Structure 1
Amino acid sequence: MFGGNNMSESEAASHLGGRLELDAQVAERLRGRLPMVAAHTVTTITAEVPAYSGTLTGQMREKIENAVRIALGTFLQLIERAGAADPSTPLSRALEAAYALGAGEARVGRSMDALLAAYRVGARVAWREVSTTTVRSGLSAETVAEFAELMFAYIDELSAASVAGHSDELANVGRARRRDLDRLTQQLLAGEPEEVLRRSAERAEWPPPQTLTVAVLPRSSLRSVLAALSPHTLESGEDLPGAQWAEEAALLLVPDMHGGRRRQLATVLHGHRAVLGPARPWVAVDRSYQRVLRTLALGVPPPADGPPLDTEQHLARLVLHTDPEALADLRTQVLAPLATLAPATAARLAETMRSWLLHQGRRDDVAADLFVHPQTVRYRMGRLRELYGDRLHEPATVLDLTVALAFPPPGTTDDEPTDR
């Protein structure tokens, strides 16, 4: 039960009480001094341990004094019951109380440093008072020394039980909060109603920011990136389709990286092969998440060593690929005059048409873009005018051609070589 102990309760009890039999008269004198020892111990703790200064007052002081009396009384019982059939009974109660004390300290937010300091102070004060009684009772120096050894071993057992209680409570609280944060993260990504999100944020003790920004990166980079971000950053283990560039991808919801701070986030993600979504109000971060998913679906991997792939730099591509089937139909429609040509010839002419539209008919710029001679551009555009006729001058046709040819079809890239 008590993770901080290195021996069982019965072994500890035997270790503490099996070596010294205390005279009943001396034990009675010690027991009579317990209230005074407890009061003096608490007074000294409040004076010497800053974490308890001003906190051990009123009912709390009475409880602590009573706990000290019980702890010392249990020790005396252990000494008196040396050799009894079941020496663990009093120690078990004391260890349970010490375990509960450690757990309580964790619940109120105090570290174990404060409690261990209190144990050290308490042990010193208690022994000073107890040793005075034992010496005045005529115990030999050897017996007093053994008494001191056993008493400090007993304090070690109590402090170990408190450490275990403190650690277990922190672990339980940490697991519960982790579950609450995971639930909140999934609700945010699912676009749950605002009232649901606010309740979950309160339960998880997570302070809502103004905005959240979704970022995706390889899990291998997660630790170094999180170290540079807000401690309120949320993490999801969501499987991400389209993130094949990462063996295992991690998804982060980063608070308040809107406006000028977006550049800071991009700097943190630089070199981590990341994808960066837009900042959105925290209750609407699912829209940032969907934007990232649509960008991943384009099949454009983030650079291996450079800035993150910013979804806001691909808005036109995202708009055009919202309905891939409609875009494919539009390409087929506007390129119909090329359908009778050989595929390689049709591809060269379509490529020339795209560059011509994007460079607004500047022949030298088109030639430089395609790495061909300006005369080649002139020849190809002549062929296209023959195939399209007057439609090349109609605004509606120019618009359709510009939209249809703005980006390569899905599954290809701008850098894909063509037969020239």
Structure 2
Amino acid sequence: MAETRKAGRYIVPVAVAGVAAATIGLVPALAASGDPDLPEITAQQLIEKIAASDTQTLSGTFRISTDLGLPLEGLASGLTSGLGGGSGGSGTADPSQKLTELISGSHTLRVAADGPERQKLTLLDGSDEYSLIHNGDDVWAYDSRSKEVFHEKAPADAGPEDAPKAELPGTPKQLADEVLKAAGDTTSITVDGTAKVAGRDAYQLVIKPKQAGSTVESVKIAVDAANGTPLKFTLASVEGGKPVVDAGFTKVDFSKPAASDFTFKAPAGAKVTEGAAEEAAKEASGEKDGPFGGQLPEGLEGALGGFGPGAGAGKGDVNVIGEGWTAIAKIDTGAPAPRTDEAPKEIQGLLGSFGDKVTGKFGSGTVFKTKIVNALLTDDGKVYVGAVTKDALVNAANAGK
């Protein structure tokens, strides 16, 4: 949990200019009627502009909306609350729990940043507010609804690299960096016109898979024409409808925020939880986080245990099939899939609402689907998962790879 609360800089230029020009559509931006009339620019030039941007100060408001296509509204946040949130954790002010709310629904946030040492985020939820402040060696979080405060401070003997950092949710800049880092010869990148975002002139960078079978229709990034800062990020699914992720500034100012924006004093009577002290107490007592006491149920532990570099071909290890946007992770849990007909009726109905029974040369199984990530769980305990269509998962299982 301590690792979850630590992150790097809020605004970090990433060296994306190394993306080979051969993989990028060199189509210049052409302004449509009503859009800003900006100089023509190629995709390679725009990517270089993003890489060269070094925005250290800003303040403003941005809105993030997430639609995973799950059948029940709030299911995603409910699941994450059950896997570590709620009153059983370290309090409602703990950012490792509170910020999981951003993975579903629509949220408005106020943000401010002054270099790598000072950032502030305020999550607005009706009349209640949740604030996360990073100022030097301190991270403070305050939940106005529960009147709870979370505090974490770097140890006295820690170096600059050990100072706690506020892990703010995915800004357009962070989301854009992740996509551009992964761009390769399976990707088409073009510039598609201009736009006004938060009152700023912007170019629109469009990223699309070249491969068939991906669930990603496109990623669109609105880039500030003056300083190269991404202002808006939109991830669309081939299913259409609302974007899977739509995160963008509605108001932004790149001047230096006031120093007082990053000061915090716990309100009188508020309950204050010290993060470092809590972690030390848990380690001393052997207490583990999460609903399973730090241990995954049998089967899940095997399925996830081999995930990561260096995984072999044993039970629970992960093999990656294909590359780029249509890569599929194959996991052999080593145990038959649990029978859904033995689950409570309420759970059977939930699973049935976003699971499709499928058959093929591999046997039979169930595809659990969202608008982006789909997973095939075969009856003999193999898992195929990726940002690919149901047919792509079934074909991979049929190939027996």
Q: Shorter chain as normaliser: what TM range?
A: under 0.3
- Normalized per residue, the structure richer in helix is 1
- Normalized per residue, the structure richer in strand is 2
Structure having greater relative contact order (Cα 8 Å, sep ≥ 6): 2
TM-score, normalising length: structure 1: 0.18
